[in-house]
Amino acid sequence: MSRRILEHPVLGNLQDNKYISFTFNNKNYEGLESESIAAALLANGIRTLRYHEESGSPRGIYCNIGHCFECRVTVNGTQGVRACLTPLQAGMVIESGGKLPTPVRDWSAENE
């Protein structure tokens, strides 16, 4: 089932024929050039954009207009890029951030 809204009673119909390729976490996807990375991923059914640095819990878009920073991903090697504000370009390599090590806490849990 298409997640794109190609027909709309007031806003009119859309053509979606300018697809380009990109990768997200090493898998190939297609999206529309210059749409936001967040929109391209959601159109592909992807909601989880990263895993929380401390808890590892999955996170997706929240505000979708750049305020909350929940949607940050790594784009072509640059960390902390907001998926909701960044236009998709052909060949982009997009990756999720993941849980970071917490050695001090882990040590404390085992030894205190």
Strand partners, 93: 23
In this chain, which stretch among 21-29, 82-90, 91-99, 102-110 interacts with other proteins, using CB under 8 A?
A: 82-90
Compute CA distances 59 → 30, 49, 81, 101, whole Å.
Answer: 22, 6, 14, 18
CB of 97 closer than 8 Å to CB of 52: no
The single residue among 20, 25, 52, 74 that binds other proteins, judged by CB under 8 A, is 52
Unique residue bearing structure tokens 């072509």: 76
Closest separation in Å from C-beta 107 to other proteins = 27
Kindly tell me which of 59 and 72 has the beta carbon lying closer to other proteins.
59
Closest separation in Å from C-beta 105 to other proteins = 20
